[in-house]
């Protein structure tokens, strides 16, 4: 995914701005792995092999995303993910 494309995306649920966390890029600076988080609803949308997963919750399977979240734990900065939403320690 190109950075210019990432900058144009918004949350499909509430149209709010997204924060981008880049995990890996290729040699041409395309985003290969990372995630978006919504400023409003706090949903997390992973980017896998350059493709953002922005499906409605009912079409996502948390168990399939769990290995990614475990690998990205340092990038979540102590936050947890539950029901596809990023929770701080106060929310848990």
Give the model's confidence band at 92: pLDDT under 50 very low, under 70 low, under 90 confident, else very high: very low
Count Cα neighbours of 25 within 13 Å in the Cβ-side half-sphere. 11
Q: Where are the beta strands (DSSP E) in the chain?
A: 18-25, 31-38, 44-48, 51-52, 80-82, 85-87
Q: Is the pLDDT of residue 89 over 80?
A: no
* pTM as predicted: 0.89
Phi, psi of 19, deg, nearest 5: -95, 135
Interval 71-85 mean pLDDT: 91
Residues 17-76 have pLDDT tens digits of 999 999 999 999 999 999 999 999 999 999 999 999 999 999 999 999 999 999 999 999
What is the token pair recorded at 59?
A: 């079409």
């Amino acid at each position: 995914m190109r950075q210019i494309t990432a900058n144009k995306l918004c949350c499909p649920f509430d149209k709010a701005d997204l924060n981008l966390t880049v995990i890996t890029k290729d040699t041409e600076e395309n985003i290969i792995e990372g995630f978006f988080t919504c400023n409003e609803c706090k949903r997390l949308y992973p980017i896998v092999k350059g493709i953002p997963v922005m499906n409605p919750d009912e079409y996502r399977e948390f168990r399939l995303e769990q290995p990614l979240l475990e690998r990205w734990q340092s990038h979540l900065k102590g936050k947890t993910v539950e029901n596809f939403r990023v929770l701080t320690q106060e929310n848990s």
